[in-house]
């Protein structure tokens, strides 16, 4: 059974979809996880939107992309895959974006709450930044953000997609970017699961020395933990989103997460990973 709630928050509406009456989910073990990758080709300097799906019976728990100038990543409507938008980083024949989803058996996440925040406070050309917050006692995973007009199609940011990641405390999903023309809404979506003492958020950021020098960071989960999701956040010293900035890589490692791109001098390119232990 699904229960649907709406809460009005100034110019932000938050929808919470809860899956109730089901047994508690168990954290996946590494052997449960399946990683699926695909590519989408694009002419040089032309934005493209692509998607990649989990196998039947699996739920998307994390999403990533590489070889790109990323503008948005978000789960699809059924949480069985992800949608990615961006520009190919390289010239032909390498003019493609690699998209990746981390998938877990549906049986491992039976008590998921989905939070969708529709933010109408921004206008085209604005630097839009906000978050989707899990209910108390839940951690965030497998989230993302994008722009749209009304109920229209998925649109990526036009610049400065400097945040798409779990928050530092692991209970929210953050997203930031410049709102494109012909859109009026920033959508931020996250999946949430009950905290049972088995989730652990790791983060680390290297400091950028120059806005024209690529900077990268990576994090690893503690021993015995598995990285199920992750993302990126370019941070000012005060913790706010720094810009201008671009993300070229956000992808899973063997048991962690790696990010890289361009960031203003003296800001941090932060990699974050949501880790679970069985």
Q: What is the per-residue pLDDT across 77-97, written as a single tens digit (0 to 9) for each?
A: 999 999 999 998 888 888 899
10, pLDDT greater than 50: no
Q: What is the mean pLDDT of residues 143-162?
A: 94
114, pLDDT greater than 60: yes
Q: Which two tokens stand for residue 261?
A: 């791109």
Please state, rounded to an integer, the average pLDDT across all residues of the chain: 89
Q: What is the mean pLDDT of residues 224-231?
A: 95
Q: Per the omega criterion (within 30 degrees of 0), is the bond before 244 cis?
A: yes
pLDDT of residue 150: 87
pLDDT of residue 84: 97
pLDDT of residue 3: 26
pLDDT of residue 126: 98
Label residue 152 by pLDDT band (50, 70, 90).
confident
> Which residue carries 């990641």 as its tokens?
165
Cα separation values, 37 from 12, 63, 97, Å: 33, 10, 10
Q: Which two tokens stand for residue 268?
A: 């941090």
The residues near 32 (Cβ < 8 Å, ≥ 6 apart) are 104, 105, 108
Adjacent-strand bridge partners of 180:
none
Higher pLDDT among residues 31 and 107, named by residue: 107
What is the pTM for the complete model shown? 0.89
């Amino acid at each position: 059974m699904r229960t649907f709630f709406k809460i009005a928050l100034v110019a932000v509406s938050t929808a919470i979809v809860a899956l109730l009456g089901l047994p508690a989910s168990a954290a996946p073990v590494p052997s449960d996880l399946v990683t699926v990758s695909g590519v989408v080709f694009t002419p040089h300097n032309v934005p493209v939107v692509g998607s990649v799906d989990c196998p039947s019976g699996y739920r998307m728990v994390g999403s990533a992309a590489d070889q790109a100038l990323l503008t948005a990543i978000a789960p699809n409507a059924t949480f069985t895959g992800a949608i990615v938008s961006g520009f190919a980083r390289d010239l032909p024949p390498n003019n493609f974006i690699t998209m990746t989803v981390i998938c877990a058996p549906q049986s491992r996440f039976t008590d998921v709450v989905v939070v969708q925040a529709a933010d109408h406070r921004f206008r085209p050309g604005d630097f839009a930044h906000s978050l989707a917050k899990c209910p108390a006692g839940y951690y965030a995973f497998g989230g993302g953000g994008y722009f749209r007009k009304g109920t229209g199609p998925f649109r990526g940011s036009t610049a400065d997609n400097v945040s798409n990641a779990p928050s530092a405390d692991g209970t929210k999903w953050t997203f930031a970017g410049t709102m494109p023309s012909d859109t009026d809404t920033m959508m931020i979506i996250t999946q949430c699961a009950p905290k049972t003492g088995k989730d652990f958020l790791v983060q680390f950021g290297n400091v950028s020395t120059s806005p024209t020098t690529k900077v990268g960071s990576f994090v690893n989960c503690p021993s015995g933990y598995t990285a199920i999701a992750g993302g990126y956040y370019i941070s000012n010293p005060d913790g706010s989103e720094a810009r201008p900035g671009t993300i070229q890589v956000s992808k899973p490692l063997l048991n962690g997460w790696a990010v890289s791109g361009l960031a203003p001098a003296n800001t941090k390119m932060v990699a974050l990973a949501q880790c679970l232990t069985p």
